[in-house]
């Protein structure tokens, strides 16, 4: 076997470390391995192999040499993904991941399926498993290559659209300039006309004054000459003529003064133009329409056999001001009509607003932990605060944010909520027990209460934490998430139970040598237009579909990995997007109808 220096790699082996003796490395020395113990899963040098065969505890272990020795794994595969200096020591069954001791304490402290990797020391990973994961990797690589080609085509389309928009901007500016040039020309013509008229009047007055001055100066000279002659007849005649001329030109002067005026020429912008200029802050708006790669699908269409998930993404709902020591807890959600998403973060006492791309834009902190939320109309949403015993109305706009409105105090803890054209429907229970459905009008006044009567010994509902309403508003669907684990369909009018469906077992489970303990969580339900219920269980049967007759139909996302604590679920028809809340994240699943080849 060829000796290789530590950390030396080749192109064919990438960053594979050399085969060195594991017991020697424990003592901070390095020796070339000559064999491999398949029981201990360790490389052994010649000296350590002799000791291995010498002791009774390891004497029977099978040691292989040469080409039978397995290739060493990549160094980073034995180190933690998040803590590079820590080795992986545990396997979390809940998240299907190998973790270090620090991850176990920080992120997986409440996971029930964390076991030591020592349990896998004697376990061989079969070739069939590697073949399976190899095929999955190859398939994923091909999918990425296909998406890459599509994105390149999208980039070309994007460049073309940019060029088209720029051309339209220049055309708009040219049209605007032409229009302004015409208006400017009209103003110049009007200005020149006024100036010419006033100049003409002014010139006439100048000529009159100049002529009058010339005549009067001649008369003054004549009078001065006659005075020197001392001729009384000539003096009288000259005086008479001069006096007459003075009076005559005084009248002319009076007329000139009367007609003379000071002209002030200024531009007064048109009122409409001034208002338009004040309002016009831009030549136009660049609108972006996000066109998903899937088609508009109604919720009922997800039940088709040829429906597949074509994209799944995870989006964080953390925002500044959230508790850094603990996760968020997304318990409620609803899509608004503009495609934005509202979620309830129970842990941080916040309602958060995400845009169409699931980017957190706004949040508002309430005086209680919000549980569920529903859309009232295009402007308002309503959320439940069970421990504060109130409903809170919020104004929601992805641009303006979230504004708090009025509150309705309830006499019991309110949990799930749904809204019809005329009513607000709320599920109440005592966490757990004594579950009932309260029907209120839009002003918060009680109209009806559905559930067991006070004198009855048993309750219809134990933990009715979520509910939904049919498209016609006549049927209610209640998810009871305690030990019953049922979906109940009842008439809104009289509370008559139409069916009571028991869902599959789900929740956190721990198997012992005595029994299996279940700790089920509350589960969200949504209803399509044909009264089929989609129940978010978050286990091996991820989303159960229940028919309008109360029978099990099909299961969505069956092959999805088990998700930890998925309370809520919402669906957006415009791009066939289903979202599920996962503590401090929401996971989106985008569906598409595919062609099944026969």
3-state secondary structure of 457: coil
> What average pLDDT does this structure show over 171-182?
88
Q: Is the pLDDT of residue 18 over 70?
A: no
Instruction: Determine contact, residues 348/360, Cβ cutoff 8 Å.
Output: no
Helix H or strand E segment including 98: strand 97-99
- Strongest mean pLDDT among 182-186, 277-281, 334-338, 449-453: 334-338
Residue 51 DSSP SS3? helix
Distance separating the N- and C-terminal Cα atoms of the chain? 54
**Domains of the chain, residue spans:** 1-78, 130-279, 299-591
Residue 144's pLDDT band (boundaries 50, 70, 90)?
Answer: confident
Among the ranges given (198-202, 298-302, 319-323), the one the predictor scored with the smallest mean pLDDT: 319-323
Within its chain, how far is the Cα of 3 from the centroid?
Answer: 55
Give the integer Cα–Cα distance in Å for 300 and 553.
12
Please name which of 75, 80, 121 lies closest in space to residue 97, comparing C-alpha atoms. 80
Structure tokens at 568: 């809520």
Two structure tokens written together for 72: 């060493």
Q: Please give the C-alpha separations between residue 107 and each of 92, 347, 439, 566, in angstroms, as whole numbers.
A: 11, 16, 41, 17
Q: How confident is the model at residue 10 (pLDDT cuts 50, 70, 90)?
A: very low
216: closest CA among 265, 185, 253? 253
Q: Are 426 and 413 in contact (CB under 8 A)?
A: no
Reported as a single tens digit per residue, the pLDDT across 403-461 is: 999 999 888 899 999 999 889 999 988 877 788 899 998 888 888 888 866 545 567 78
**Predicted pLDDT at 76:** 45
Is residue 509 very low, low, confident or very high in pLDDT (cuts 50, 70, 90)?
very low
Nearest residue to 590 (alpha-carbon basis) of 243, 598, 574: 574
Q: Kindly report, residue by residue over 208-256, the tens digit of the pLDDT.
A: 888 888 888 888 888 888 777 777 877 788 888 888 888 888 888 888 8
DSSP readout, 189-240? HHHHHHHHHHHHHHHHHHHHHHHHHHHHHHHHHHHHHHHHHT-HHHHHHHHH
Q: How far apart are CA 354 and CA 341, in angstroms?
A: 5
Provide DSSP, 346-381. Answer: TTTTEEEEE-TT--EEEEEE-SS----EEE-SSSEE
Alpha carbons 106 and 82: distance in angstroms, whole number: 11
**Mean pLDDT throughout 280-304?**
71
Q: Tokens for 459?
A: 């309750």
Write the DSSP assignment of 567-598 as a string of letters. --EEEEGGGTEEEEEETTEEEEEEEEE-PPP-
User: Residue 489 — very low, low, confident or very high, per pLDDT cuts 50/70/90?
Assistant: very high
pLDDT at 283: 65
| 129 Cβ neighbours under 8 A, 6+ residues apart | none
pLDDT at 595 over 90: no
* Cα-based angle 263, 265, 270 (whole degrees, multiple of 5): 140
- Alpha-carbon distances, residue 485 vs 153, 331, 500, 584 (angstroms): 48, 18, 10, 25
- C-alpha dihedral, 326 to 327 to 332 to 337, nearest 10°: 120
Neighbour count for residue 339 (Cβ, 10 Å):
16
CA 507 to chain CA centroid, Å, is 28
Q: Which CATH superfamily does the domain covering 299-591 fall into?
A: TolB, C-terminal domain (2.120.10.30)
- Nearest residue to 354 (alpha-carbon basis) of 586, 591, 567, 590: 586
**Number of other CB atoms surrounding residue 340 within 10 Å:** 22
Tell me the pLDDT band of 532, cut-offs 50, 70 and 90. very high
**Tokens 């997986």 — which residue?**
108
The encoded tokens of residue 413 equal: 């803890």
Residue 505 has pLDDT above 80, yes or no: no
Nearest to 307 by CA among 577, 592, 22: 592
- Euclidean distance between CA atoms 525 and 418, whole angstroms: 11
pLDDT tops 90 at residue 498: yes
Given this model, what pLDDT does residue 395 score?
94
What's the pLDDT score for residue 416?
Answer: 93
Give me the pLDDT at residue 169, please: 87
Strand partners for 435 = 461
The reported pTM is: 0.52
Longest CA–CA separation in the chain, Å: 170
Confidence (pLDDT) at 149: 78
pLDDT for 32-48, tens place per residue? 889 988 888 788 999 99
Share of the chain above pLDDT 90, in %: 21
Are the beta carbons of 205 and 260 closer than 8 angstroms?
yes
Report the C-alpha gap between 210 and 215 in whole angstroms: 9
Judged by average pLDDT, the poorest of 81-85, 124-128, 452-456 is: 452-456
Phi, psi of 319 (to 5 degrees): -140, 160
pLDDT at 201: 86
Q: Could you tell me the CA-to-CA distances from 538 to 302, 528, 541, 590 in Å, in that order? A: 17, 19, 7, 17
DSSP string, 385-433: ETTTTEEEEEEEETTTEEEEEEEEE-SS-EEEEEE-SSEEEEEE-SSSS
Listed in sequence order, the residues at least 6 apart from 416 whose beta carbon sits closer than 8 Å to its beta carbon are 371, 372, 384, 426, 427, 464, 465, 466, 467, 478, 479
How sure is the predictor about 566, in pLDDT bands with cuts at 50, 70 and 90? Answer: low
């Amino acid at each position: 076997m060829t000796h290789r220096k530590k950390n030396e790699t080749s192109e064919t082996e990438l960053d594979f470390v050399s085969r060195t003796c594991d017991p020697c490395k424990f003592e901070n020395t390095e020796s070339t391995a000559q064999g491999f113990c398949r029981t201990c899963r360790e490389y052994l040098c010649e000296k350590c192999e002799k000791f291995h065969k010498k002791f009774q505890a390891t004497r029977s272990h099978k040691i292989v040499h040469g080409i039978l020795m397995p290739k060493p794994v990549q160094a980073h595969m034995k180190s933690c993904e998040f803590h590079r200096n820590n080795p992986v020591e545990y396997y979390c069954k809940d998240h299907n991941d190998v973790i270090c001791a620090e991850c176990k304490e920080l992120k997986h402290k409440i996971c029930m399926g964390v076991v030591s990797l020592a349990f896998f020391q004697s376990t061989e990973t079969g070739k069939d498993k590697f073949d399976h994961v190899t095929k999955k990797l190859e398939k994923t690589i091909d999918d990425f290559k296909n998406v890459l080609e599509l994105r390149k085509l999208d980039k070309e389309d994007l460049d073309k659209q940019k060029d088209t928009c720029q051309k339209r901007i220049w055309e708009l500016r040219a049209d605007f300039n032409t229009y302004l040039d015409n208006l400017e020309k009209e103003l110049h013509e009007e200005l020149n006309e006024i100036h010419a008229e006033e100049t003409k009047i002014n010139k006439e007055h100048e000529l009159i004054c100049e002529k009058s001055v010339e005549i009067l100066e001649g008369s003054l000279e004549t009078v001065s000459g006659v005075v020197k002659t001392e001729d009384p007849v000539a003096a009288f005649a000259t005086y008479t003529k001069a006096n007459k001329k003075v009076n005559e030109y005084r009248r002319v002067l009076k007329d000139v003064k009367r007609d003379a005026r000071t002209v002030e020429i200024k531009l007064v912008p048109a009122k409409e133009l001034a208002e338009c200029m004040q309002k016009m802050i831009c030549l136009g708006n660049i609108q972006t329409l996000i066109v998903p790669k899937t088609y508009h699908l109604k919720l009922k269409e997800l039940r088709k056999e040829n429906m597949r998930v074509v994209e799944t993404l995870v989006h964080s709902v953390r925002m500044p001001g959230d508790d850094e020591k603990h996760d968020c807890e997304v318990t409620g959600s609803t899509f608004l009509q503009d495609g934005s998403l509202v979620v309830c973060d129970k842990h941080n006492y916040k309602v958060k607003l995400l845009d169409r791309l699931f980017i957190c834009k706004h949040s508002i902190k309430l005086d209680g932990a919000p549980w569920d939320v529903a859309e009232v109309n295009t402007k308002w949403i309503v959320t439940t605060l069970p421990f504060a015993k109130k409903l809170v109305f919020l104004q929601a706009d992805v641009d303006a944010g979230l504004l708090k409105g009025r509150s309705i105090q309830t006499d019991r803890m309110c949990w799930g909520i749904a809204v019809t054209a005329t009513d607000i429907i709320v599920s109440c229970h005592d966490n757990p027990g004594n579950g009932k459905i309260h029907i209120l009008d839009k002003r918060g006044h009680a109209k009806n209460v559905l559930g067991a009567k006070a004198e009855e010994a048993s309750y219809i509902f134990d933990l009715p934490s979520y509910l939904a309403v049919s498209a016609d508003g006549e049927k209610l669907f209640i998810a009871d998430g305690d030990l019953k684990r049922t979906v109940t369909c009842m008439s809104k009018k009289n509370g008559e139970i139409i069916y009571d469906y028991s869902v599959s077992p789900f929740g956190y489970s721990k198997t012992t040598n005595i029994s299996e303990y279940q700790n089920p969580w509350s589960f969200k339900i949504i209803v399509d237009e044909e009264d089929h219920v989609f129940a978010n269980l978050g286990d091996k049967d991820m989303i159960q579909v229940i028919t309008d007759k109360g029978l099990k139909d099909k299961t969505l996302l069956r092959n999805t990995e088990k998700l930890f604590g998925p309370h809520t679920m919402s669906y957006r028809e415009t791009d066939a997007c289903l979202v599920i809340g996962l503590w401090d994240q929401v996971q989106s699943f985008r569906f598409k109808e595919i062609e099944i080849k026969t």
